[in-house]
């Protein structure tokens, strides 16, 4: 599990390490610079490389000066361009500049960058504290850096990218790699910032929970090594009832395929029993496609709720009056954990009575997981997709808090929020997963995990992660053009097996 921080969190951890722990800022800076140089050596510096380093006069620029010195020591031909008013230079920048005077590095202050056919181009203009649009000489410098040949390296974060949201602030530097320190920064993972970060390397420089017990980022993401720790256990003495009973209310009218995909995903994720509630005319199709399922009609709903451990409602449900009445009944009377997806979300977005019932569920402490894509989220929130994408983490957290639910806001970077401030950010997946039925598969995976005992938040976060890894596996086999919902399901069991 990896923490991902805001600029304010990173500043707090940095200050604590310096002022409370007692590690001098120059020591942290040396560690940061050394980690960048080592990464550059590993990836693309061979022999006496020609390097251009562009620095501001803050501590990010000071990092750049330290990098220049270390590269010069290794025999590289280094050119440093400094932009910014000297009177605004930080103490660390002034110290690094004084040290650099003793090294064979050419420094140009406020001069236009000259193309010398560089092997490597380093951006150390702005750090994570940038909040305004990059303009003037700084924008010109970044534009020039982007046009130069050579591998592009961003120090901590590409200049011109918001560290908190990934928003582009004027003219952004486009990196091949970003070497960031202590924790990943949110803006490196959210789009459009992710498009400018390139490959991200998070380097340990001595800031973290070992030295700072308060160092606990509110946002995190998973690694493959987390799967075994997070998966619900399975007892050798268990039976099909032990491993969870999922009730799926889905596949009405002519949309039985959604119910099939959801049910298959439940079983692939390990549920012991799955029952689908849908109209009688779909029974034969369902049982032919997924012979393992149990079947029930809408008239069986009350007795089916007594049987189930969790309910998944919405995939292929339609938005007719009967569907609305069933959804209202579930929201008002069901005390089981519930996953609400697809058409159930569309009905919620236009029906005040359904919204009130959802709120009352949360008020009772009943776990409800909503899984909207950004269009559905925009309708629920009464906002625009663009506004939600501007800060998805904040929007998801606010909406989850308002309704006391777990919200999985699906996008290229899916965010799972529970309203307490805790956030999961998913950093895997691919464009091939933007395919019909993919959301039905995710709803089934999450429902299965909840039925096996995970909490709503943990089930949603792990479900999103496994779903995206299965999508990546499908893309590796069939290309992103060939990913389908069915192929995502086929790869779930392989992800679980690898994780265990």
Give strand pairing partners of 119: none
Residue partners of 460: CB distance under 8 A and separation at least 6: 369, 371, 406, 408, 416, 424, 446
pLDDT at 388 over 90: yes
Going by C-alpha positions, the residue among 200, 341, 176 that lies closest to residue 259 is 341
Q: Within 13 A of 316's CA, how many CA atoms are on the CB side?
A: 27
Residue-by-residue DSSP string for 97-110: HHHHTTSS-EEEES
More confident residue, 124 or 48: 124
pLDDT band per the 50, 70, 90 thresholds, residue 55: very high
Q: For CA atoms 310, 453, 361, 395, give the dihedral sign.
A: negative
**Do the Cβ atoms of 250 and 278 come closer than 8 Å?**
yes
pLDDT at 145 over 90: yes
In tens, the pLDDT along 149-171 reads: 999 999 999 999 999 999 999 99
Spatial separation of the C-alpha atoms in residues 252 and 278, rounded to whole Å: 6
Q: What is the pTM of this model?
A: 0.94
Give strand pairing partners of 274: 246
**Do the Cβ atoms of 160 and 134 come closer than 8 Å?**
yes
pLDDT at 211 over 80: no
Average pLDDT over residues 263-291: 95
**Do the Cβ atoms of 464 and 424 come closer than 8 Å?**
yes
Q: For CA atoms 396, 402, 407, 410, give the dihedral sign.
A: negative
pLDDT band per the 50, 70, 90 thresholds, residue 236: confident
pLDDT band per the 50, 70, 90 thresholds, residue 242: confident
Residue partners of 309: CB distance under 8 A and separation at least 6: 244, 245, 246, 336, 337, 450, 451
- Predicted confidence at residue 238, as pLDDT, reads 83
- Predicted confidence at residue 311, as pLDDT, reads 98
**Do the Cβ atoms of 427 and 189 come closer than 8 Å?**
yes
Spatial separation of the C-alpha atoms in residues 45 and 155, rounded to whole Å: 16
In degrees rounded to 5, what are phi and psi of residue 376?
-65, -40
Q: What is the mean pLDDT of the chain?
A: 96
Average pLDDT over residues 225-240: 89
Average pLDDT over residues 458-467: 98
**Cis bond leading into 192, ω under 30°?**
yes
pLDDT band per the 50, 70, 90 thresholds, residue 235: confident
pLDDT at 47 over 80: no
- Predicted confidence at residue 386, as pLDDT, reads 96
pLDDT at 44 over 90: no
Q: First vs last Cα of the chain: how many Å apart?
A: 16
Spatial separation of the C-alpha atoms in residues 156 and 180, rounded to whole Å: 4
Average pLDDT over residues 77-83: 97
- Predicted confidence at residue 220, as pLDDT, reads 97
pLDDT band per the 50, 70, 90 thresholds, residue 209: confident
Enumerate domains of the chain plus CATH numbers. Answer: 2-217 (3.40.50.10260), 226-499 (3.40.1190.20)
Q: Please count the residues of the chain.
A: 500
Residue-by-residue DSSP string for 199-240: EEEEE-SS-STTT-TT---SEEE--TTHHHHHSPP--TT--T
In tens, the pLDDT along 329-384 reads: 999 999 999 999 999 999 999 999 999 999 999 999 999 999 999 999 999 999 99
Spatial separation of the C-alpha atoms in residues 471 and 489, rounded to whole Å: 8
Spatial separation of the C-alpha atoms in residues 124 and 59, rounded to whole Å: 9
- Predicted confidence at residue 500, as pLDDT, reads 61
Residue appearing with tokens 């956030």: 423
């Amino acid at each position: 599990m990896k923490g991902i921080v805001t600029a304010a969190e990173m500043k707090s951890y940095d200050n604590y390490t310096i002022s409370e722990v007692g590690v001098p800022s120059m020591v942290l800076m040396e560690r940061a610079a050394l980690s960048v140089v080592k990464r550059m050596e590993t990836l693309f510096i061979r022999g006496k490389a020609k390097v251009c380093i562009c620095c501001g006069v803050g501590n990010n620029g000071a990092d750049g000066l330290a990098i220049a010195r270390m590269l010069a020591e290794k025999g590289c031909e280094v050119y440093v361009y400094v932009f910014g008013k000297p009177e605004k230079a930080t103490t660390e920048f002034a110290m690094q500049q004084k040290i650099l005077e003793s090294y064979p590095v050419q420094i140009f202050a406020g001069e236009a960058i000259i193309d010398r056919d560089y092997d490597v181009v380093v951006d150390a203009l702005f750090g994570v504290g940038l909040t305004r649009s990059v303009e003037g000489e700084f924008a010109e410098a970044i534009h020039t850096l982007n046009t130069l040949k050579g591998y592009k390296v961003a120090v901590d974060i590409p200049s011109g990218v918001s560290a908190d949201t990934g928003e582009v602030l004027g003219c952004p530097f486009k990196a091949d790699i970003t070497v960031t320190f202590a924790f990943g920064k949110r803006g490196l993972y959210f789009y459009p910032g992710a498009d400018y970060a390139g490959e991200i390397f998070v380097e340990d420089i001595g800031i973290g929970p070992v030295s700072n017990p308060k160092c606990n980022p509110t946002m995190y993401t998973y690694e493959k090594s987390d799967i075994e720790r997070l998966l619900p256990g399975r007892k050798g003495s268990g039976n099909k009832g032990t491993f969870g009973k999922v009730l799926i209310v889905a596949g009405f009218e002519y949309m039985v395929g959604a119910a099939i995909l959801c049910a298959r995903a439940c079983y692939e994720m390990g549920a012991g029993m799955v029952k689908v509630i849908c109209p009688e005319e779909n029974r034969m199709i369902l049982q032919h496609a997924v012979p393992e399922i149990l079947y029930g009609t809408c008239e069986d709903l009350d007795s089916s709720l007594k049987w189930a451990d969790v309910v998944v409602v919405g995939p292929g449900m339609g938005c007719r009056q009967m569907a609305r009445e069933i959804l209202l009944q579930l929201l008002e009377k069901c005390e089981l954990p519930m996953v609400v997806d697809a058409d159930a979300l569309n009905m919620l977005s236009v029906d005040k009575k359904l919204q009130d019932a959802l709120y009352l569920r949360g008020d009772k402490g009943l776990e409800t997981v909503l899984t909207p894509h950004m269009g559905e989220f925009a309708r629920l929130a009464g906002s625009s997709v663009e506004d939600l994408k501007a800060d998805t983490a904040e929007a998801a957290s606010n909406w989850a808090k308002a309704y006391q639910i777990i919200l999985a806001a699906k996008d290229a970077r899916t965010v799972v929020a529970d309203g307490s401030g805790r956030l999961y950010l998913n950093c895997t997946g691919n464009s091939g997963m933007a395919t019909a039925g993919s959301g039905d598969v995710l709803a089934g995976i999450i429902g299965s995990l909840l039925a096996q005992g995970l909490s709503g938040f943990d089930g949603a976060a792990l479900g999103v992660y496994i779903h995206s890894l299965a999508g990546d596996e499908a893309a590796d086999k069939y290309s992103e053009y060939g990913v389908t919902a069915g192929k995502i399901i086929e790869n779930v069991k392989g992800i679980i097996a690898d994780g265990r």
